[in-house]
Structure 1
Amino acid sequence: MAEKTKGVEVLPYNPVWKTEFNRIKEQLLTYVGDLIIGIEHVGSTSIEGLSAKPIIDIDLVMESYEVLPEIIERLQQYGYEHQGNLGIEGREAFRRSENDRFMNYHLYVCPKNGKGYVEHIAFRDYLRSNTVARLEYEAVKLQLAEQYRHDIDAYGEGKTAIVTSILEKAMN
Structure 2
Amino acid sequence: MPTREQIVTFLDDTPPDPATSPWVAGRGPERGVEIAEPDDVWATWYLDVVAHVRGALGLRVLGLQHVGSTSVRGLPAKPVVDVDLTVADPDDEDAYVPALERAGFVLHVREPWWYGHRLLRHPAPRANLHVFGPDSPEVWRHRLFRDWLRGNPDDRALYARVKREAAAATNDADEDGTAYNRRKHAVVREIYARAFAAAGLTG
The TM tier, using the shorter chain, reads: 0.7 to 0.9
Q: One-letter code of the match for 1:36?
A: V
Distance 2:28 2:121 in 1: 7
Aligned residue number for residue 27 of structure 1: 52
Deviation for aligned residue 1:158: 0.7
Q: Which residue of 2 aligns with 1:81?
A: 107
Computed over aligned residues only, the root mean square deviation of the Cα atoms, in angstroms, reads 2.4
**Where in structure 1 do 4 or more consecutive aligned residues deviate above 6 Å?**
none
Deviation string 1:59-111 (CA, Å, 9 cap, x unpaired) is 1123x328944123433444533632276335322245xx5xx1321111122
What is the letter of the counterpart of residue 57 of structure 2?
V
Unmatched 5+ residue regions in structure 1? none
CA distance in 2, matches of 1:87, 1:66: 11
1:57 to 67, 82, 91: 82
TM-score, normalization by structure 1: 0.84
Question: By how many angstroms is 1:136 displaced?
Answer: 0.4
Residue 92, structure 1, aligned to residue 118, structure 2: yes
Between the aligned partners of 2:190 and 2:103, the Cα distance in structure 1 is 38
Distance verdict in 2 for CA 1:136–1:86, change over 3 Å: farther
Letter in 1 for 2:132: C
What amino acid is aligned across from residue 162 of structure 1 in structure 2?
V
**One of 34, 40, 43 as aligned partner of 1:18:** 43
Partners of 1:3 and 1:95 within 8 A in 2: no
Between the two proteins, the alignment pairs up a number of residues equal to 166
Structure index of larger Rg: 2
Alignment of 1:1-172 (within 5 A): 4-62=29-87, 64-65=88-89, 68-69=92-93, 70-79=95-104, 80-81=106-107, 83-85=109-111, 88-96=114-122, 99=123, 102-149=124-171, 150-151=174-175, 152-172=177-197
Gaps of 5+ in 2: 1-26, 198-203
TM-score, normalised by the number of residues in structure 2: 0.72
- Inter-CA distance 78–67: structure 2 relative to 1 (3 Å threshold): same
Task: Please identify, of 23-32 and 105-114, the stretch whose mean Cα deviation from structure 2 is larger.
Answer: 105-114
